[in-house]
Structure 1
Amino acid sequence: MTALAGIFAAILHFAGALKSTPLLAALPFDLTAVAAMALLVVLPLPALASDWHADPLIALPLGACGALWLWLVLAGAWSPSTGILAAKLQDVVLLGPVMLAAGLAIAAQDRALAHCANAVLAIGAVVAASIAWGLATDRIVLGGLPGASPDQTRVQYQIAGLAIASAAALAAVRAAEAPRVFPRLLWLGFAFGLSAVVLLPGGRAALLALALALATAPAIALWRSARRGLAMLWPAAVLLATAAVLAMVLADPPLATGLRTLERLSEGEVAQSSGRLPLWRAAAEKGGEAMPWGLGTGGFTVAAGHGERRGLYPHNHLLEAMAEGGLPGLVLWLIAFGGGGLAAVRLGAQATVARAARVAALALPVALSIMVSTDLGNRMAWFALGLALGLGLRAEPRHVPALRQAGL
């Protein structure tokens, strides 16, 4: 059951990426709903059969999460939105706690986390192969097929890029852990192949997420394994390689032909061309005008003149919490996510090498994404926060014979 919990958690986390593949796009059921139901069935069983130990460091971020959910419900009372408010509260207050708890439970159990990481490796490979094959055979059209929703298509490829970024980082972690040269080279080759596919779909945030996760997660494994020299050289090598590719493309734009991610990078100023800069500016201005209580949950798009269009959220969790939740929302978000990140750094130094490196590979791409995309209702953000804080939890299976002897 523990292994199944890890696998279903990985499928739920990256269900959007899997649904972007031609093979799974035509499923007669919602993969997200099925994975969620399966996880709810199998996750409680190993959890109930374990003894749980929590580090005090996670108490404050978890408390801030609960207070943030409550405050967003209260802030809905003065929101000018109706449609976005209802949908967003459902995602934040109902789905958010479940995903946070799932992340906590998966990270707390070594076997569940290992199977979750292995499943993400497989998901990344499937998604990468599907994108490459689909583009080669014209079964995938960047920008979407005629009649397709542009917003939905863009989001699908963003999530696909995040899945590939996590998988590439996990493959590099496996290379760092490999005891022999040949498997190490195989895992490095796998990581390199996945990294190359990130250049195809057009997700610039995914490229940054790849660089962040690929530079950090293997370095953690190397540092904690007492290979300090390699640990310091690895991030520098990743960042230099990324910078070299970008420099070549910016110097000679035709080199990016066919690589949509690099083509978009050569288009000009990234924040402006993506539409994020105007949204960030509007969130800061409207949020400042509505201080100290904010615009109300889901109220940003209406206040900014976009109407009930949830897709035009601020594209930055911090700005969104400030604009819609005011000063209380900003403070609670900083304690929940910012404090959770700081707690994860400290807890990761005490956790096993495998746990720390795998949580970093799974959580860091999403951590970057919430600063340039997604809103507070995104389930991936809450699951990633749960994984990070799960480093402060330990689930140890109960020894059944000992319990029987004790009369329990």
Structure 2
Amino acid sequence: MARFGALRVDAAALGSLAGAAAAALHFAGALKSTPPGAALPVDLTLLAAAALVPLLALLLLTRRWWLHPMLALPLGTAALLWLWLVLAGGWSRSATILAQKLPEIVLLGPVMLLAGLAVGADGAARRWLVAVTLASGPLVAVSVAWGLANGKIVLGGAVGANPDLLRVQYQLAGLAIACAAGLGAVRVVEADGWPARLFWSGFTLALAASALLPGGRMGLISLALSVLLVPALRCWSAGSPRAALRWLGLAALAGLLGAVLLLLQAEAMEGLRTLERLTQGGMEASARPALWRAALDWAGATMPWGLGTGGFTIAAGHGERRGLYPHNHALEALAEGGPIGLALWLGCFGGGAAMLLLRARHVAPGRMARMAALALPVGMAAMVSTDLGNRMVWFALGLVLSVGAVAKRG
């Protein structure tokens, strides 16, 4: 603790604010589309990053850290994956994408993973992270609803709009809403009395309804799975398998009733862009299957080294257009890094998922559930969207790995 005249600064307490800065950076893309985010005189991503770096340093320096031996596999393979992707850049045909993507992977990726691990391991920082996420979800939901009602924003890939920009915008909005809804569902099963239980149920249902607006299909699907599975994981982690089964039954029934209600009220679906995208074309209208097939084909054709980091879009005939990446992290690692890249990807991300499940009965149930609620939507997005340079994925991996770490004030 430092003294400046009558002012006393608790460095350990300031370090806890890293959780708030990390949440702001994690959801910056969605928050920038809200009126408060758009009104900021500086870019929110840069502002949150500038705040996170010193706060993260304080957090690391003012805590005593314990790491579980199981962290060796995912952390070791993550480091090797970053190194391998640097080497694979040597035989990539890309210039533009490689110059954009590689620094994001090897410079930003490790920082975000460390931030997720540290914030998730510290109780106070974790509370700030959860609080900001719970506030961000409704803020994004209300902003999207207000913008659509007043014609201020157009989401869902409307004709004449920038499709790449809109796609990112509604996907990020869906992720912020899904993460907040998962956390709200956890609070439902943790609530002691009916007033709190009803409040958090209404909170979660309102977010579920708002997810029907932006047009992000994966955001809605990940929200449904988070609300269904994460509270069940929380109950199971607490040693209550019957409570987990009850929640699964009740949540599935509520979802089924909601779907039936929407089908019976067909006119209510007008303007619900997410439902329109789910019912009009589905996967047949998506470019993802073609991109997945191309990734597999080029992975086979370039065995055993792969196309090189950032080389997929050129090989697939799309030129230096980063938006046409394979839309699946595993396939991207295989196509651009070969079997070695895929093995290392499985080691860090698959190893993280395995550790989360193996540690479920050894970590506080509430902590386990909150990390799962924050990581599940991002993990699902990584399998159908984003590339390996996406900072949200590395931060989510850090949150998952944080269940193998404990931080205590020194």
TM-score, normalised to structure 1, is 0.93
The SS at the match of 2:215 is coil
Give the letter for the 1:124 counterpart: G
Question: Which residue is equivalent to 2:398?
Answer: 386
Question: Which residue is equivalent to 2:386?
Answer: 374
Which of 19, 26, 50 is the equivalent residue of 1:13? 26
C-alpha RMSD of matched pairs (Å): 1.8
Show CA shifts across 1:19-63 (max 9, x none).
122442343321111101101111111321211111111111100
Give the letter for the 1:355 counterpart: R
CA contact (8 A) 1:295 1:324 kept: yes
The SS at the match of 1:52 is strand
The SS at the match of 1:356 is helix
Question: Which residue is equivalent to 2:5?
Answer: none
Question: Which residue is equivalent to 2:122?
Answer: 109
The SS at the match of 2:359 is helix
User: How far, CA to CA, are the matches of 1:369 and 1:320 in structure 2?
Assistant: 14
Q: CA deviation at 1:148?
A: 4.9
Question: Which residue is equivalent to 2:9?
Answer: none
User: How far, CA to CA, are the matches of 1:332 and 1:149 in structure 2?
Assistant: 35
TM-score, normalised to structure 2, is 0.93
Question: Which residue is equivalent to 1:401?
Answer: none
Indicate the larger mover: 337-346 or 303-312. 337-346
Question: Which residue is equivalent to 2:108?
Answer: 95
The SS at the match of 2:132 is helix
Question: Which residue is equivalent to 1:198?
Answer: 211
Q: CA deviation at 1:181?
A: 1.1
Give the letter for the 1:39 counterpart: L
CA contact (8 A) 2:314 2:320 kept: yes
Q: CA deviation at 1:286?
A: 1.2
Question: Which residue is equivalent to 1:405?
Answer: none
CA contact (8 A) 1:249 1:262 kept: no
User: How far, CA to CA, are the matches of 2:149 and 2:293 in structure 1?
Assistant: 39
CA contact (8 A) 1:298 1:324 kept: yes
Q: CA deviation at 1:272?
A: 2.7
Give the letter for the 1:80 counterpart: R
| Number of residue pairs matched by the alignment | 397
Which of 131, 141, 148 is the equivalent residue of 1:118? 131
Question: Which residue is equivalent to 1:229?
Answer: 242
CA contact (8 A) 2:184 2:200 kept: yes
Q: CA deviation at 1:328?
A: 0.5
Q: CA deviation at 1:129?
A: 0.8
Alignment of 1:1-150 (within 5 A): 1-143=14-156, 148-150=161-163
User: How far, CA to CA, are the matches of 2:109 and 2:409 in structure 1?
Assistant: 27
Alpha carbons of structure 1 residues 144 and 319: separation in structure 2 relative to 1, 3 Å: closer
Q: Where does the alignment leave 5 or more consecutive residues of structure 2 unmatched?
A: 1-13
Alpha carbons of structure 1 residues 326 and 166: separation in structure 2 relative to 1, 3 Å: same
Which of 215, 219, 224 is the equivalent residue of 2:228? 215
- Is 1:304 the counterpart of 2:316? The answer is yes
Q: Where does the alignment leave 5 or more consecutive residues of structure 1 unmatched?
A: 399-408
Question: Which residue is equivalent to 2:11?
Answer: none
The SS at the match of 2:41 is coil
User: How far, CA to CA, are the matches of 2:233 and 2:203 in structure 1?
Assistant: 19
The SS at the match of 2:387 is coil
Q: CA deviation at 1:171?
A: 1.0
Alpha carbons of structure 1 residues 61 and 134: separation in structure 2 relative to 1, 3 Å: same
Indicate the larger mover: 154-163 or 143-152. 143-152
Q: CA deviation at 1:251?
A: 8.4
- Is 1:184 the counterpart of 2:197? The answer is yes
Give the letter for the 1:394 counterpart: V
Indicate the larger mover: 16-25 or 140-149. 140-149
User: How far, CA to CA, are the matches of 2:87 and 2:247 in structure 1?
Assistant: 47
The SS at the match of 1:43 is helix
CA contact (8 A) 1:205 1:369 kept: yes
Alignment of 1:241-280 (within 5 A): 241-243=254-256, 245-246=258-259, 254-268=267-281, 270-280=282-292
Question: Which residue is equivalent to 1:321?
Answer: 333
Q: CA deviation at 1:213?
A: 1.1
